[in-house]
């Protein structure tokens, strides 16, 4: 392998670990819905001399010299973001999704103001007001939920908004399989005069590719990570819509000031370059196909799972992900299914389900999605095979019980994990997964 030639000489330990991670990605099925595979072009842009530069401020308004080309890189990323999302203002500097959302609070609220967001165990995100996050610590956080059928409880949203008069309302989720009702939220936010922010970290690629409703006509602010369905580097963007500027002509400036100097120092210019590359990819027609295929694949996977008796929250999906509800087999089973799938080369994550009967650390569901395997080129036919493997693995481990007692629980889980390497079903699925991965090579250039 010629890849990492210099690193191999310079620091063989790190090179070895990076190579192992490449092999894990190449020969496994990545089904965590927040993950994806960036193109080599995106990664090449990241690994450049742009990492050497300090450029606090914004294009043409910097606190350091030597930013002639950096300005052009950032302006290109901004212009492409505006074009791709159809918005008048974009900030591409947030280090990641959490700092981006933090900047929205700083721009729109004072400490202690009331905000309204989607509860974390119901599929929301930490930054939408959960108690252990800054958003729940520094603001008065009201939380809405999903109904037992898995859909957002819009009546609760209305009631909380009318009673509590939040300054900021969030719409957007990390584990919600249905289309986000931007229009319905806009009616509520407009009625109570709140800022409405859409956090489309998960579905940004679907939005851009036309496979999910666009938030821009309905909300004031859009935040997104750039590394999930958007398939760029690890980073984030904050955009202000026409509607946002109409509500508050200063909103763009407030967002920019909140990011820098409010919360961050120098931007990561190498990441900004890679964001520009990813946005360039999103402008190509192939990206639309990819976005629609993600949804087709998720639907095919959910259907095949349900056909085989697996319960899916809300009985299906509109987007890239689904939640398997394992409560028919008992509570807290997510960890067994996650670990057994992991040993089989299928990476998913244990997740809470609506009205979770267990705990967030030992939840009763599993979250999985299709963005990364769609990037590899897999289609409906492959989803059927994957669904059958998942069904086999669930069948294999569903009778394992999680003890209430902490010490016993750790013993049981440790023993369970050790047993996986010699489990016949796990071994068979593992070898079939490798065969499938070889038919859909991920980074063939890196193995030359
Ligand atoms: C992933 C995610 C984020 C946070 O992104 P990080 O880059 O992990 O900080 C924010 N909001 C939602 C809805 C997400 O899914």
Domains of the chain, each with CATH number or no CATH: 46-282 (3.40.640.10), 289-447 (3.90.1150.10)
Catalytic residue among 108, 127, 225, 374: 225
User: Mean of the pLDDT values across residues 134-157?
Assistant: 97
> Which among 164, 216, 175, 147 is positioned nearest to 368, based on CA atoms?
175
Please tell me if the CB atom of residue 201 comes closer than 6 angstroms to any atom of ligand 1. yes
What's the gap in Å between 165 CA and the centre of ligand 1?
A: 25
Mean pLDDT of the chain: 97
> Does the pTM of the predicted model rise above 0.85?
yes
pLDDT at residue 360 is higher than 90? no
Q: Catalytic annotation on 56?
A: yes
Catalytic residue among 30, 122, 199, 396: 199
What's the gap in Å between 98 CA and the centre of ligand 1?
A: 6
Question: Which of ligand 1's atoms lies nearest the C-alpha of 124?
Answer: 13
pLDDT at residue 1 is higher than 70? no
Please tell me if the CB atom of residue 102 comes closer than 6 angstroms to any atom of ligand 1. no
pLDDT at residue 404 is higher than 90? no
User: Mean of the pLDDT values across residues 348-352?
Assistant: 95
User: Mean of the pLDDT values across residues 246-273?
Assistant: 98
282-315 tens-digit pLDDT: 999 999 999 999 999 999 999 999 999 999 999 9
User: Mean of the pLDDT values across residues 105-134?
Assistant: 97
Name the residue of 96, 225, 320 to mutate for ligand 1: max ligand atoms within 8 A of Cβ: 225
Pairing of strands 321-325, 346-347: unpaired
Please tell me if the CB atom of residue 125 comes closer than 6 angstroms to any atom of ligand 1. yes
Residue located nearest, by CA, to atom 8 of ligand 1: 97
Residue located nearest, by CA, to atom 3 of ligand 1: 97
Across 157-166, 201-210, 395-404, least confident range: 395-404
Please tell me if the CB atom of residue 270 comes closer than 6 angstroms to any atom of ligand 1. no
User: Mean of the pLDDT values across residues 43-62?
Assistant: 97
User: Mean of the pLDDT values across residues 375-387?
Assistant: 98
Residue located nearest, by CA, to atom 5 of ligand 1: 97
What is the model's pLDDT at position 2?
A: 77
pLDDT at residue 115 is higher than 90? yes
What's the gap in Å between 8 CA and the centre of ligand 1?
A: 33
Question: Which of ligand 1's atoms lies nearest the C-alpha of 234?
Answer: 7
pLDDT at residue 55 is higher than 90? yes
Report the share of the chain in percent with pLDDT over 70.
Answer: 100
What's the gap in Å between 183 CA and the centre of ligand 1?
A: 22
User: Mean of the pLDDT values across residues 165-189?
Assistant: 98
Question: Which of ligand 1's atoms lies nearest the C-alpha of 202?
Answer: 15
User: Mean of the pLDDT values across residues 197-219?
Assistant: 98
User: Mean of the pLDDT values across residues 18-24?
Assistant: 96
Q: Catalytic annotation on 74?
A: no
Catalytic residue among 8, 53, 54, 296: 54
């Amino acid at each position: 392998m010629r890849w990492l030639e210099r690193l191999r000489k310079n620091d063989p330990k790190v090179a070895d670990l990076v190579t192992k991670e490449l092999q894990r990605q190449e020969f496994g099925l990545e089904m965590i819905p927040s993950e994806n595979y960036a193109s080599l072009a995106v990664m090449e842009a990241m690994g450049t001399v742009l990492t050497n530069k300090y450029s606090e401020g914004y294009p043409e308004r910097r606190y350091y010299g030597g930013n002639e080309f950096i300005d052009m890189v950032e302006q290109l990323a901004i212009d492409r973001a505006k074009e791709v999302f159809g918005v008048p203002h974009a900030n591409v500097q947030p280090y990641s999704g959490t700092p981006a959302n933090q900047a929205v609070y700083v721009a729109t609220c004072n400490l202690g103001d009331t905000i309204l967001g989607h509860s974390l165990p119901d599929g929301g995100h930490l930054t939408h007001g959960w108690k252990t996050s800054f958003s729940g610590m520094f603001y008065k956080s009201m939380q809405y939920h999903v109904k037992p059928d898995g859909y957002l409880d819009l009546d609760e949203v209305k009631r909380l908004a009318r009673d509590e008069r939040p300054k900021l309302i969030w719409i957007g989720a990390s584990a919600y399989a249905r289309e986000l009702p931007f229009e319905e939220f806009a009616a509520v936010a407009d009625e109570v005069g709140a800022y409405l922010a859409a956090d489309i970290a998960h579905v940004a690629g679907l939005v851009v590719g036309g496979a999910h409703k666009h938030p821009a006509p309905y909300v004031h602010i859009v935040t997104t990570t750039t590394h999930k369905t958007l398939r760029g580097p690890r980073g984030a963007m904050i955009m202000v819509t026409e509607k946002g500027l109409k509500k508050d002509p200063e909103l763009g400036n407030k967002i920019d000031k909140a990011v820098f100097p409010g919360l961050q120092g120098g931007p990561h210019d190498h990441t900004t370059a890679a964001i520009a590359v990813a946005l360039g990819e999103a402008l190509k027609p192939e990206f639309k196909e990819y976005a629609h295929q993600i949804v087709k694949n998720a639907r095919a996977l959910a259907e095949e799972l349900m056909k085989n008796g697996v319960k899916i929250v809300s009985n299906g999906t509109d987007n890239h992900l689904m939640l398997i509800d394992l409560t028919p087999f008992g509570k807290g089973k997510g960890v067994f299914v996650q670990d057994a799938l992991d040993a089989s080369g299928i990476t998913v994550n244990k997740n809470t389900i609506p009205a979770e009967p267990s705990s967030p650390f030992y939840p009763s569901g599993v979250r999985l999605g299709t963005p990364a395997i769609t990037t590899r080129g897999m289609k409906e036919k492959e989803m059927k095979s994957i669904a059958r493997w998942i069904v086999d693995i669930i069948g294999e481990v569903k009778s394992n019980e999680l003890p209430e007692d902490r010490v016993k629980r750790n013993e049981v889980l440790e023993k369970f994990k050790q047993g996986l390497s010699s489990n016949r079903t796990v071994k068979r699925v593992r070898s079939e997964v490798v065969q499938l991965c070889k038919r859909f090579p991920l980074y063939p250039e890196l193995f030359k």
